Chains A and B, each alone.
Chain A
């Protein structure tokens, strides 16, 4: 217990009257990270559930890890495909790992730095929410996003999407998606098109080489958006070297796209963990898919072009649909908070995401905008769900005598 003794020794410096009292929140964050606080209840219940905010966030992070690892592998896979070199399993993974790691570090350093400073100013404990957002941010960016852009976007979203509203628990919009949306609108050339999804340059000297002639870095959804095929049957999704992509490739995640979204298989693993532990709402997840399915089938019926004809399985496997449904729509703070509300909230996300995909010529993918759009409407959905309860109560009171 020497670490404990050390903490006890330095603790007085951070308490009221101590030299470093202005750093108390920081000290507290590290102490509570290392040890469960020994604070006992002062009012109300005498015992508490072992689940706290830290536990909740850690479960989400664990759920993200399969998608992150698959994403890293895919970054390497696409890279070596582009330069037509064999690097073996570990070499491939290492390349992706080294490409993504700096982005994660930058996102955490910038975001947590701001969070710590804000907690310090407000004299509060540091909330854990950014531990998840900070990992999500690099996972929903194209791999070639420059580090400075990740830093700027993270700072922007933490300050303007979260802290100005009061911090974790009070934000209206999903913090990670705001970071992405910020870059999407501020630096569109770096966030879309067909140059950003595959890292072709070397990483720390690893994986240098020349890109093959047939290379094209467009994502499958991007290919479909610019295709002039009249029917979906005439169209084939291609990998970056022109090879046709199978449904299996899309399911496992060997396709160009944002880092975390490519592997539906890995996302499903995360979804299973979130659902079993009850940390993510299965109602939201299922309803996003239901909303998507409904819209797709409807559009399939009245299909006028290839993208309207695309069957549901492609929609669900491509782009950020699954990732958004599992990890973004379920963010409890920005989602609807009532159970009925979650069904409506999720369903509409599915509907809007597919509509943007198919009808907006500028954006091949609609998930980000659909979720942000519905974030804005979540309080309204809850309002009507709660209002039904209020109306029932008023009606009951108006009856002369109810027994």
Chain B
């Protein structure tokens, strides 16, 4: 029986548009686009130019800081465009996909026969190293630094999150191979956290890992919370974090010898007529996914990922690298609600009790529902922040960029996503995730 840890603080935001557990087919697009901004902390250097042909799994670009770290093309085809933004920063690399995906052959390998170094090389070279992130800083892991432990989360508690049980069904072998590979990469432990409700055998009976059950509302599924309860990160230590769906890419590389960046993606949100699961390659344009399946009322917000941490995309945007969920909600910029501060409308949702609390699912739009203010209300962040850290004080130390205080208050243990719920409930409507991201980036620059 696995250890069970109960998370009491947190919040399950009751949204409309839960994904129905039905598989609805595959979505493809003519062009596949990879956005380097998905890979946190990486400065990309191009490996291809417009007109080059690539196979699926061949590198499009590599990391300036770690030149061995490749970033794979999800599809085979011809590079047709490289868009750049300010200061010639690469915004995206577009590949016109072949009708049939042709994979670069990396050769099937048996984990047991490989050394840690060989596994690391294989992942870097195949261009899927990006699935491994590290704390501190919540960036793509530094391959040169051995992790104290590796933390894999086996479930997602975010609003409308996909069911890992459903997605992993039939892929248990790849999951186990991936976990075996990870176990070789650390002298410490590989911790796998699962939901108490999980029935998937691949998760529940996973080998080579320490399994812990986390019970409770969001953010129980966040690795940051799990690390804080299992073995917190101290100054000078590095741990790696992954989610179980990303471990599949590692498993496929060794089991099949190819880089198969296909995700099973949950289509969710109040504006989706028929929710469900689709097989989608990373970087695929989602036009066909949305076509005819979204409500026609008002402006829409399309999100790759969930409503708390996802990336805003357009209706013809692409599936971003780290997401197994796509959400569509109303934008709300065309709504003018009179006297909102006096409203008793049952359409308004609040985690606190300044509104009536109803047992129902809500259709929330993207409005801030107020204006930015200084931090006024106390104990608001703490209620949804189940870590042994003072969130408000940490945010203030970041705003002041007081490095000593940031270290003392636990900056090394957190990622922006850990502050997502704080940002949701914040009466002062501050951009907490952006503040934490900026703080981590500045700190990293200072320390490395």
Residues of A whose CB lies within 8 Å of any CB of B are 1, 4, 28, 32-56, 58-59, 125, 127-129, 166-170, 276-279, 281, 332-333, 335, 337-339, 382, 386, 389-390, 392-394, 396-397, 402-403
Contact = CB atoms under 8 A, between A and B. Distances in A.
Contacts of A43: 431, 433-434
Interface stretch (B69-77, B162-170, B343-351): B343-351
Interface string B425-448: 111110111100000000000000
Given A49-B351, A54-B341, A403-B188, A40 B432 contact: no
Given A45-B424, A394-B408, A403 B231 contact: yes
B10 interface: no
Contacts of A47: 13, 15, 159, 307-308, 329, 364-366, 424
Interface stretch (B104-112, B274-282, B285-293, B330-338): B330-338
B410 interface: yes
A397 B303 CA distance: 39
Contacts of B149: 403
Most buried by A among B367, B370, B424: B370
Most buried by B among A38, A125, A276, A382: A38
Nearest to A54: B341
Contact of B354 (A37, A55, A333, A397): A55
Contact of A50 (B15, B369, B372): B369
B1 interface: no
A394 B341 CA distance: 44
Nearest to B234: A397
B431 A44 contact: yes
B271 interface: no
A125 B373 CA distance: 8
Nearest to A383: B393
A375 to B, nearest CB: 14
A393 B237 CA distance: 13
B374 A389 contact: no
Nearest to B422: A45
Nearest to B303: A46
Contacts of B333: 38-40
A257 to B, nearest CB: 30
A167 to B, nearest CB: 7
A36 B366 CA distance: 13
Interface stretch (B127-135, B218-226, B382-390): B382-390
A335 B301 CA distance: 40
B383 to A, nearest CB: 9
A333 B376 contact: yes
B365 A169 contact: no
Contact of A169 (B354, B373, B434): B373
B257 interface: no
A125 B374 CA distance: 11
30 contacts: A35-B337, A37-B371, A38-B333, A38-B367, A41-B366, A42-B431, A46-B329, A48-B369, A48-B429, A49-B350, A49-B425, A51-B354, A51-B370, A51-B427, A53-B373, A53-B427, A54-B341, A56-B377, A127-B373, A167-B374, A168-B376, A276-B353, A278-B354, A279-B354, A281-B378, A332-B376, A335-B378, A339-B382, A389-B388, A396-B234
A28 B371 CA distance: 10
A43 B308 CA distance: 10
B38 to A, nearest CB: 15
A65 B209 CA distance: 60
Contacts of B416: 44
B198 to A, nearest CB: 24
Contact of B374 (A169, A278, A394, A397): A169
B196 interface: no
A1 B433 CA distance: 36
A59 B341 CA distance: 9
Given A52-B427, A278-B353, A390-B408, 15 more contacts: A35-B340, A36-B340, A37-B370, A38-B335, A39-B367, A40-B301, A41-B366, A46-B303, A46-B307, A47-B366, A51-B350, A54-B370, A56-B354, A276-B353, A277-B354
A32 B408 contact: no
A158 to B, nearest CB: 16
Nearest to B301: A46
Nearest to B382: A339
B379 A49 contact: no
Given A52-B429, A393-B410, A397-B234, A281 B379 contact: yes
A169 B432 CA distance: 17
Nearest to B351: A49
Contact of A168 (B188, B374, B388, B425): B374
Contacts of B350: 49-51
Contacts of A332: 376-378
Contacts of A278: 352-354
Given A168-B374, A397-B235, A45 B433 contact: yes
B409 interface: yes
Nearest to A337: B378
A35 B341 CA distance: 9
B79 to A, nearest CB: 30
Nearest to A46: B307
Given A44-B420, A332-B378, A390 B354 contact: no
